[in-house]
Amino acid sequence: MWKFAGLVIAAMLAGSTTAQAQSFTAAEVAGIDAGVEGFLSQRGVPSASVAVVRGGQIVFAKAYGRRAVSPDRPATTGAGYNIASVSKQMTATALLMLVDEGKLSLDDTVDRWMPELTEAKRITVRQVLSHTAGYQGFFHSEFLSIEGRQAISPQAIADRWATQPLDFPPGSSWSYSNTDYTIAGLIVERVSGQPLAAFLKTRIFAPLGMTSATEVTGQPAKDAQGYTRYALGPLRPALVVGAGWGFGDGGLSMSATDLAKWDIGVLHHSLLSAKTYAEQQTAVPLPGGKTAPYGLGVFVDQVAGHRRVKHPGSEEGFLTENRIYPDDGAAVVVTVNGDFGGAQDDIADQIEHLILGLPAPPKRNPRRDRPTIDAAVRPQDLALAHKMFDQLAGGKLDRSLLTADANVYFTPTAVADYRDSLGPLGAPIAFERLQSLQVDGQDVSIYRLMWADQWVAAVMRVDPDRRVAVFKVFAPV
């Protein structure tokens, strides 16, 4: 049945793009163009690929900027971009397809397939998909670790992070965890008897006509090259995450148009029963009458009374924003090939307000944001942040202050870019700590640094031994 449905959907999608001229007025298209180009220019992001669904059809698809800067290649709507954690909803859907087929239940416990995992007899498939299992996550840092650059097997990830003590009792809280989706992908393989990549290709991508969708294997010439920046410095090619880390939780690449085809499949209930889609798109309840911000593989919320199902994606060199409005038959996809600047959110906000008939989104003004300081965090962290900034702005870094991963991140090129982009600004007139918290045993602080006509944000993570695990300065967003 799914093969027949896939043929119908593919035929429908093939004709849907012809509606582009009727979907937006010339003035609206000009407004989208100006907004996208303005955000890319302001943030220094090389390119964006945008697709919009209205009435259950793709009505707008356009690429802006350059998918690679050296050699110079223009962005195209067919170029693949790494969608990172947007992939989670596809892994979740694969597992939910098996639920619809009666091959497992959301209330099955994971010991049925992976008895070696912590509390496997108490943790359900539903809790794994909703990030309420309590399994420790990985890749929490703003730097790609030394280990993250090397290949790893999904089973090794599960053996390492899902056999540790839980972060909280199953079902008692919510915490985003990549480990959960490594486990989900392994369960798909064990239930279906197929490799996860093969299941996604034959059961999801082919029926929906997603011809560009594939596992990330680098950046082929036809696809977008990912870029990063060190502080306010020039574009630099981003590192590539080692094979295996994205299994189940990320690791997919596709064009914005193909991601929009996925969204149409969700709107048309093409892969799951209506009941299962409803369950996927319902916020998971927590004790005390609270709810998580998440369903089963997707964030769920509302904007101006319109139900919204969404997921961001963030990986070295790429950021993605995917938003679906189930009751409006609409969706917005924005992919960019820079892991900085937040342009994908602003572009998505602009188009979201347009298609939902809402007033234009307000412009952000971080200078008006009031700091919220957690006085419980060590006061010496502020002094350490000052020291890190001063050293980087001066181009001289005391590496004894850093962890091994931070030492590897601060290459001579990175230090030179920090020096050349921050040094000319001089001493900031304000250096404020906006937020502090503890994550994975580290003290994490976020700062705002301001000059007369410039500001930046910075994040610092400090290990229990008081070494700096992360210090990263961000361009304005």
* Per-residue model confidence as pLDDT tens digits over 173-207: 999 999 999 999 999 999 999 999 999 999 999 99
What pLDDT band is residue 16 in, cutting at 50, 70 and 90?
A: very low
Name, in order, each residue with C-beta under 8 angstroms of 78's C-beta and a sequence gap of 6 or more: 212, 222, 255, 257
> Is a pLDDT exceeding 50 seen at residue 2?
no
Tokens of 406: 């931070």
CA pair distance 186, 191, nearest whole angstrom: 9
Q: pLDDT (tens digit, 9 = 90+) per residue, 23-33?
A: 789 999 999 99
Q: pLDDT (tens digit, 9 = 90+) per residue, 35-71?
A: 999 999 999 999 999 999 999 999 999 999 999 999 9
**Whole-angstrom Cα Rg for the chain:** 22
Q: What is the DSSP letter of 327?
A: T
CA pair distance 124, 94, nearest whole angstrom: 16
List, as one string, the DSSP characters of 393-422: HHT---GGGB-HHHHHHS-HHHHHHHHHHH
> Can you tell me whether residue 180 is helix, strand or coil?
helix
CA pair distance 320, 218, nearest whole angstrom: 17
What pLDDT band is residue 477 in, cutting at 50, 70 and 90?
A: low
Given a contact cutoff of 8 angstroms between Cβ atoms, the answer to whether 310 and 323 are in contact is yes
Given a contact cutoff of 8 angstroms between Cβ atoms, the answer to whether 326 and 309 are in contact is yes
Q: What mean pLDDT do residues 448-466 have?
A: 93
Percent of the chain with pLDDT over 90: 83
Q: What mean pLDDT do residues 73-79 have?
A: 97
Q: In this structure, which amino acid lies at residue 465?
A: D
What pLDDT band is residue 247 in, cutting at 50, 70 and 90?
A: very high
Tokens of 291: 């709810």
CA pair distance 88, 260, nearest whole angstrom: 15
Q: What mean pLDDT do residues 297-313 have?
A: 97
State residue 474 phi and psi, 5-degree precision: -110, 145
Could you count the other beta carbons within 10 Å of the beta carbon of residue 380? 11
User: What pTM did the predictor assign?
Assistant: 0.91
What pLDDT band is residue 362 in, cutting at 50, 70 and 90?
A: confident
Tokens of 330: 């609409």
Instruction: Name the residue among 57, 58, 38 with its Cα closest to residue 48.
Output: 38
Sign of CA dihedral 348, 303, 330, 214: positive
Q: In this structure, which amino acid lies at residue 109?
A: T
Tokens of 276: 């299962």
CA pair distance 125, 129, nearest whole angstrom: 6
CA pair distance 179, 268, nearest whole angstrom: 30
Q: How far is CA 7 from CA 3, 4, 14, 329, in A?
A: 6, 5, 11, 20
Q: What mean pLDDT do residues 274-300 have?
A: 97
CA pair distance 142, 14, nearest whole angstrom: 40
CA pair distance 417, 425, nearest whole angstrom: 13
Percent of the chain with pLDDT over 70: 91
Tokens of 334: 């924005």
Query: Could you give the strand order of the β-sheet that contains 455-462, starting from the edge strand earlier in sequence?
Result: 430-439, 442-450, 455-462, 468-474
CATH architecture of 368-474: Roll (3.10)
Given a contact cutoff of 8 angstroms between Cβ atoms, the answer to whether 264 and 13 are in contact is yes
Q: In this structure, which amino acid lies at residue 82?
A: N
> Is a pLDDT exceeding 60 seen at residue 1?
no
> Is a pLDDT exceeding 80 seen at residue 21?
no
Name, in order, each residue with C-beta under 8 angstroms of 8's C-beta and a sequence gap of 6 or more: none
In the block, tokens 């640094």 appear at 449
> Does domain 2-355 sit in CATH 3.40.710.10?
yes
Q: pLDDT (tens digit, 9 = 90+) per residue, 411-420?
A: 999 999 999 9
What residue segments make up the domains of the chain, in order of their start? 2-355, 368-474
Q: What is the pLDDT of residue 23?
A: 78
Do 2-355 and 368-474 share a fold? no
Residue 54: strand pairing partners: 57
Element (H, E) at 439: strand 430-439
Q: What mean pLDDT do residues 355-362 have?
A: 87
Element (H, E) at 42: helix 26-43
